[in-house]
Amino acid sequence: MNKNAKDRLIFALDVDDFDQARYWVQTLKDNVGVFKIGKQLFTRCGPEVVKMVVDQGADVFLDLKYHDIPNTVAKAAIEATRLGVRIFNVHALGGAQMMRTAVTEVEAYCRQVGCPRPQMLAVTILTSSDQATLTEIGIERPLEDMVVRLARLAQAAGCDGVVASPKEAALIHAACGDGFAIVTPGVRPAFAAQDDQKRIMTPADAIAAGATALVIGRPISAAADPLAAAGQILAEISAALGG
């Protein structure tokens, strides 16, 4: 098993309350390295839920997609860092200055307190948006051009990577190169249902297309044996990385 595979499997903690979140971390932490906490769980439970995951020895991806004036995003990013998250994200549509200010201030904070800097990812265009959504808000460029443009902008502003559809991974990898993280939801192993995801790929195909980590929820949580399902996905990631 590739030793990095576990850090590339991110479980989406899409649950309603603290107890369910704790149940999933306890159940899965042997096969899952990172737990994604999004707006619902964070709004319900607050920083305590981040602390719970960290206390169990797992990493947190705080998926709050910050998008605000540069100073506000930078201050929120420092608070995320203070909580001990390993990954957090911002909207690239907030612009280069917003992203650069956040990276610079988080770096300065980490130097000051002597902690590792979390990975800062950018969301390019949400996969729930299509060309009509862009037109609606006055963007006439092709959606794929926008995704690549925003990924490049995020990279130039100092972000460590992007969150993107696996279908966009190859384009982004070609534009931004190795070493730029591409974290992809919309991944479905062969054994799982498609659910409401429309543009899916298997874990192996997503890694082959350039994804560096996978966000997976229901294929694990809805499985008869969730830990075993996570183990199967881990083995697939590991094999795709070359064992």
Judged by the rule CB under 6 A, the positions of this chain that interact with ligand C5P are 12, 14, 38, 126-127, 185-186, 195, 197, 215-219
Contact between 163 and 142 (Cβ < 8 Å): no
Q: What is the dihedral of CA 23, 225, 237, 156, to 10 degrees?
A: -30
Q: Are strands 59-66 and 87-91 parallel, antiparallel or unpaired?
A: parallel
Of the pair 12, 106, the CB lying nearest ligand C5P is at 12
State the CB neighbour count (10 A cutoff) for residue 152.
17
Say if residues 35 and 11 touch (Cβ distance below 8 Å).
yes
CB of 112 to ligand C5P, least distance (A): 32
Question: 240: which 2 tokens?
Answer: 């795709």
Question: 75 or 218: whose CB is closer to ligand C5P?
Answer: 218
Cα(86)–Cα(181) distance, rounded to whole angstroms? 13
Q: Any idea which residues carry the catalytic annotation?
A: 65
Q: Rounded to the nearest whole angstrom, what is the least distance from the CB of residue 127 to ligand C5P in the complex?
A: 3
C-beta closer to ligand C5P: residue 38 or 47: 38
CB of 96 to ligand C5P, least distance (A): 22
